[in-house]
Structure 1
Amino acid sequence: MNSISLAGRAFIALFPLIFTQNLRAQNRRDTTNDKPRDTTALHEIVVKGHRQSSALTTATTNTLSGATLLQTRGATLGETLKSIPGLNSIQTGPSISKPVIHGLHSNRVLILNNGVRQEGQQWGSEHAPEIDPFTAQQITIIKGAASIRYGADALAGVVLLEPPALPTDKPLGGELNLVAASNGRMGATSGMLEGAPGGALEGLKWRAQGTLKRAGNFKTANYYLDNTALFEGDFSGTAAYERKRYGITVYYSQFNNKLGIFSGSHVGNETDLYTAFARAKPITPDVFSYGINRSYQQVYHDLLKLSAWYRFKNTSSLEFIFGRQKDLRKEYDVDLPYNPDPALAQLPQLSFQIKTHTADLIYHQPGNKKIDGMIGFSGSTQGNVFRGIRYLVPNFRNYSGGLFAIEKYHLNKLTLEAGLRYDYRWLRVYRRDDISLQVYDNTHTYNNITGTAGASWQISEALSLNANIGTAWRAPSVNELYIKGIHLSAASYELGDSSFHSERSVNSTLSLQYHTQKLHAQLDLYDNEINGFIYAKPALRTIQLVQGTFPLFIYTQENVRIRGLDAEISYALPAHLTWTGKASLVRAFNKTIHDYLVFMPADRYDNTLKYTQPRLKNAYISLQYLLVARQNRVPPNSDYVPPPPGYHLFNTGIGCALPLGKRLLDLNFSIDNLANKAYRDYLNRFRYYADDLGRNFILRTKMSF
């Protein structure tokens, strides 16, 4: 609590310095000016039960949309979500990150991209989701076990990326987003065109979208990070035909990027490795460049979605979703393989190609004032082909299927919800014997039943309470079972264990919300018991190979308990000022060793003061103070490098929307790490070698037409 007091005192001290000229007596505020600016922003962050009747209404949910989402354009998905209490991002350098919900990430957090479960090599922290955030108009976070509706693996929660609804009454429209950032000299542009012809083609809708993004070497407060440039090119297209009783949609997207891996993470021998760990500044070239040299990773991801729905006369409906994904990832080491053929010498050291087919059939029950729900089936098949000069994970094939049902009962201000699901998974792995070189296979089968029960109580017009308890499970992934080798993008050597059994979780959440015209407060409490928790544990020794020396991580399975709270409070002060405070605390205990669990987020406190000018649309000025404490809750001698010191950052932003004829131009300028603070974040794997990012000036524009 001392940290919270420190953050509060810092902002109290800053009030007269920054906002003195704007403070003025105001005894009466008209309804129009009092409501939309800060209160609307809160609605964009916290939404409960906003989707359809079959959504998990008793789960804790948060939503990013509108102006709040605009202020994150150009960032990765993991960075985009960090403004929500309880969410962090786990990173491997400046350009690879993925969302963390209540301390859990990767295969424990499901990502649904336009209604399709995102599949790729999400093994560990060094494989970012293959998603273009520009395609989403709204991002919804479901915290807690959500396996009933969305399938196995949702131990921590679900991230739903939802595109804007297709137009119904305009022949042509669209938007253009432009982003420029000083750090990395990054530039991004994303454009979208859409229309509904009408007339003889009534019911036909379409959309086309594309994104280009490029950045050079990123910079810390004091030096450039060599070989951290990136290039990304994405596009997507949608066509739909809808009538009153039925509809069909076809969606295709392609994601392509090339990411450099920080050259300071590749070390020749053990002495140099530990010297690099202890060095305050890496000895890599301190220069800016857009060039991407070895080592780097190159990713191609294709997604095809076919969906259809039919509404019956009794208002019930049937929905079908089919998805096909192909994810190709190539990883190139810093050293060229020896081969007399120059073409073969340029091949990647590692190459994975995963093809996934998914199908969902969902029946939504007829609308009823008291009872509604859904039943459904989901199935998938997936195959991986590994090619490369080095071995890492074997080829595999898996099949899975699940049946589920969710029912809700509404009684005045009380909603009760319950669900049940059964899942089965079959996995066959094809391996080559190290000595005989003969190919053989191992088969694993997993099945489990999960359930959820919850209640939502609207205690008063301003006060509501949500409570939910759910079970979830997750079968071990292939890398946890069989990985053996150098993980280039993580700069580590990893070993799996084929004897692992499934993880089993019991997750309880409690959310209390209070909302009035001037005050919004939300407190979320959670308790997640996970038996058989699998993670890559630092072995505290190195592996020396011809390619270099790497820290060793061995996958292990233990019983853990993760508890914590997310808190948010926002209060409308006089003179169009709003103060928002957020706090996220995670306590993770390893019950097997009777000590703390490594690689959990540190305590995080966020205070923001925002001034809005009602005479200009969406006009605001904000100052944020972010305090991240040192992570002291780790076992002694449990990592190659102890947790870094805590840090505090100042971020600021200004924005407005200007009318240009019939069009609207949204402008947003922000400065991250205003004081150019040198720091290292505990959830960044490359904290072993270098600092995190320094000051960054970012300009974002959005033109709608």
Structure 2
Amino acid sequence: MSSQLIRLGYAGALMIAICSTVLSVRGMQLLDGDATFSGIVVDSATQVPLVGASLELLPIKKGCFTQKRGVFSCENFPAGDYTLLVKYVGYQIHTQKIRIPLNSPLKIKLQQSDVALKATIIEGEREITDAPTKQIVKITSAELDEHRGQTLGDALKTINGVTTLQTGPSISKPVIHGLHSQRIAVMNAGVAQEGQQWGAEHAPEIDPFSISTIEVLKGAATIEYGAGAIGGVIRVEPRELPTSPIIGGEFTANGFTNNRQGAASLLVEGGIPSVEGLGWRTQASARKAGNSEARDYWLGNTGFEELNASAAIGYASEDFIIKGYYSHFGTTLGVFLGSHFGNQDDLMRAIAAGRPLTEYEFSYTISGPKQVIAHDLWTVNASYRLSDAWKIESQYGYQVNNRQEFDARKRYNDTISKVPVPSFSLNLTSMTLDTKLRYTPDGELSATFGASGLYQVNVGQSLTYLLPNFSVSGLSGYAIGTWTTPELIVNSGLRLDVRSQRTFQYTPKNVPDSAVTYTGLSGSLGALWTLSPITSLGANLSTTFRIPSINELYSDGVHHGTAQYEMGNRTLSPERGISSDVTLKVTTPKLSTEISAYLHYFNGFIYSAPALRTILTLRGVFPVFEYRQTSAMITGIDANFTYVASEVVRLDASLSWLLGNNLVTNEALFQMPAPRAKLGPHLHLGDWGELLHNYLEINGQFVARQVNYPENADYSLPPAGYALFDISAGTEIPISETHKIHLNAAVQNLFDRDYRDYLSRFRYFTADVGRTFIIRLKIPFGEFPDE
């Protein structure tokens, strides 16, 4: 381990040397001006002045802080047009366009954060701030533009503390602080995404092109979001509906060399001239990719294709808002052919070889094994302000998720057309209703009261058995209270969950019909202290509760997506635990530092582990994984550093480390992320003639070998550590007074490194993807100004 840390240190020193060289060349080319802007920052509800709020001008990334009585006066700035970012602990980030010098002082009203939790919000170009009392990381639309065409998981990997469970090149499942699947809640347009999320290779069925912002809440958030949010919450939101009676939109296109992928999206939106406050949007996207390529060989049957669409309509007045949203996600994913074997000897030979036993070529053809997935979501949400202090919100969601998995041996129906028949087909229908009553008076206390209902039914139509049919119904109620002063925010909550699960057979497997009801109580307490205008300290403590899911209880069959035989455990009991975290944040005009330590304790932690045996079926031989339960603890540290060396150069660095322990066997937990660090400069290169807002970014990621793993509990040892370098550059080209073409070029795995990540489910058989060149283009059109 020490040698790995030394290598990380050498790599970090090299990156710092590069930054220093750039600094000496470009660091002082942009000079300060003599303009001043001033004003006051207050709470939007109470009008209380906010002392210590930060104000920052983009793109020059300079600013100041509010002083006594919330007043600010920022001096020595060049005259011009800017985006002003205003941030304060416990409040939503405020952005507005301004022109310096101002005609009059500003009065900025900040709204309290909807999520009363400690926050690290990354806005714009990864500037970090706080919001009470939990961690939130926000990826804006501009940042997402640098990842369009890739999976949601690929975009989330840019966040410190978030990794992905990878199943081939096309399937990326988010992991927050070592937790994933049923322990992570994914909110899509305000609705909890209900799919077959129990599968380690079942990625969120969400079109990245439809997303405007992503917020990742790190840490337990079970009070408002339920038992599925033990590890955190991922909230994806479409862009706000327009209300102006004009029409506009944008066309986006991406190209990737490694798998010869093409992706495109078209969005059109507008308002209705005859109805003030009414807006609409339609959007559609498609992408197609062939086999991916590791450094030395092709990965057979790893192509994928998607066809997605969404539509929204909404009306807003001063006190009443109502919105309707629909999205369709459809994809066909090939599963790596080199992960399926006809006999045990071939399986053992492939693991020993560490590479495919068969040489593949590039192809767009997707054959078995494969997944065919369709997810449809309908939602209506409304809010009404009852008075200055009271507001009611309600949202209904209806979702249908259909998942078909085909094995490597084709099966056909008995008709003349010989239509391929899936090995298993799961159809999940979910209905949810969430209602909140918010109380925000003119004072220090505020509260939210909520109730949620869920009903879902899963029906399988399969040739082989994996899961029984089941239905789930649940009711919950919660209350959250917040006390806010300029120096201290205290937040507490309580939640009661009642959930029933019923199973019923559809195969001869010995799974008796059953109905079980679980009841659980969760609580939370958090505080955030503003120690000075530049320093804050947050702490949180919460209890958690999660019932075992159907797959953990009753799985008994081949899961073709993971190339594993999965065995459930009917003796599992509910998972209960305690989560805590502490975060220190220091922000100065030059340096932003955030260090967070966390702990998750589980009584009855449910996990899947290799049984170290194989099973021979009619479809081949597969390694057996079984569900177990133990007492466990996960501890870790996330650290983020941003240093603004000049108006040209910014240096970003982060470190993530965690340790998962099985407290019963005194061994490490299986499949915990390895320690990793990131380091790289971001260069604001200014304008070059007609090329505006030019930038260059270099990112180095350094991942150590996982040395904390259970002995003799896996089919192969953890892979070696690795270092990857990515580079990207972007510019904007004006095509009218209000529109600019956005162009981005990037290279991932710049040096074509042959590597395997410990969280790759196919690391036994193949290396990860090699070098990829990427080009991204966004062209706005119509009457709306460019964002």
TM interval, shorter chain, is over 0.9
**Aligned residue in 1 for 2:240:** 165
**Aligned residue in 2 for 1:114:** 189
- Contact persistence 1:47–1:63 (CA under 8 A): no
The counterpart of 2:302, out of the listed 196, 208, 228, is 228
The letter of the residue matching 1:484 is D
**Aligned residue in 1 for 2:167:** 92
Supply the RMSD in Å over aligned alpha carbons.
Answer: 2.3
1:54 CA displacement? 3.6
Are 1:243 and 2:317 counterparts? yes
**Aligned residue in 1 for 2:469:** 395
Q: Distance in 2 between matches of 1:366 and 1:209?
A: 36
Q: Distance in 2 between matches of 1:168 and 1:407?
A: 34
Are 1:672 and 2:694 counterparts? no
Are 1:256 and 2:259 counterparts? no
Q: Distance in 2 between matches of 1:239 and 1:604?
A: 43
- Contact persistence 2:498–2:519 (CA under 8 A): yes
The counterpart of 1:7, out of the listed 11, 14, 34, is 11
Deviations 1:565-595 (A, max 9, x none): 1111011124611111111101111101111
Q: Could you tell which deviates more after superposition, 365-374 or 340-349?
A: 340-349
Q: Distance in 2 between matches of 1:31 and 1:66?
A: 32
**Aligned residue in 1 for 2:683:** 611
- Contact persistence 2:631–2:662 (CA under 8 A): yes
1:471 CA displacement? 1.5
The letter of the residue matching 1:610 is H
Q: Could you tell which deviates more after superposition, 623-632 or 308-317?
A: 308-317
The structure 1 segments of at least 4 consecutive aligned residues displaced by more than 6 Å after TM superposition are: 31-34, 40-48
- Contact persistence 1:49–1:55 (CA under 8 A): no
The letter of the residue matching 1:298 is V
Q: Distance in 2 between matches of 1:121 and 1:453?
A: 32
1:424 CA displacement? 0.5
Deviations 1:232-285 (A, max 9, x none): 011010011222221221111111000001100111111110110111431233
- Contact persistence 1:35–1:517 (CA under 8 A): no
Q: Relative contact order (alpha carbons < 8 A, sep ≥ 6): 1 or 2 greater?
A: 1
Q: Could you tell which deviates more after superposition, 563-572 or 617-626?
A: 617-626
The counterpart of 2:772, out of the listed 682, 696, 700, is 696
The counterpart of 2:340, out of the listed 263, 266, 284, is 266
**Aligned residue in 2 for 1:540:** 612
- Contact persistence 1:564–1:587 (CA under 8 A): yes
Q: Distance in 1 between matches of 2:134 and 2:19?
A: 37
Distance 1:4 1:31, change over 3 A: farther
1:15 CA displacement? 4.3
Deviations 1:364-410 (A, max 9, x none): 11333301121010010010001111011000011011000101011
Q: Could you tell which deviates more after superposition, 184-193 or 66-75?
A: 66-75
Deviations 1:76-121 (A, max 9, x none): 1111111111000111111011111000011100000000000000
- Unaligned runs of at least 5 residues, structure 2: 37-55, 63-82, 93-110, 117-131, 782-787
How many residue pairs are counted as aligned between the two chains? 701
Are 1:586 and 2:658 counterparts? yes
Distance 1:484 1:433, change over 3 A: same
**Aligned residue in 1 for 2:739:** 663
Are 1:55 and 2:129 counterparts? no
The counterpart of 1:380, out of the listed 454, 457, 470, is 454
- Contact persistence 1:23–1:575 (CA under 8 A): no
Are 1:495 and 2:567 counterparts? yes
SS of structure 1 residue aligned to 2:387: coil
Q: Distance in 2 between matches of 1:203 and 1:20?
A: 49
The counterpart of 1:683, out of the listed 759, 773, 785, is 759
1:173 CA displacement? 1.7
1:37 CA displacement? 3.6
Q: Distance in 2 between matches of 1:25 and 1:668?
A: 26
Q: Distance in 1 between matches of 2:35 and 2:600?
A: 43
**Aligned residue in 2 for 1:283:** 357
Alignment of 1:462-473 (within 5 A): 462-473=534-545
**Aligned residue in 2 for 1:414:** 488
1:286 CA displacement? 2.5
Q: Distance in 2 between matches of 1:47 and 1:228?
A: 45
Q: Distance in 1 between matches of 2:631 and 2:192?
A: 28
Alignment of 1:478-627 (within 5 A): 478-574=550-646, 576-615=648-687, 617-627=692-702
Are 1:36 and 2:68 counterparts? no
Alignment of 1:404-483 (within 5 A): 404-431=478-505, 434=508, 440-483=512-555
- Unaligned runs of at least 5 residues, structure 1: none
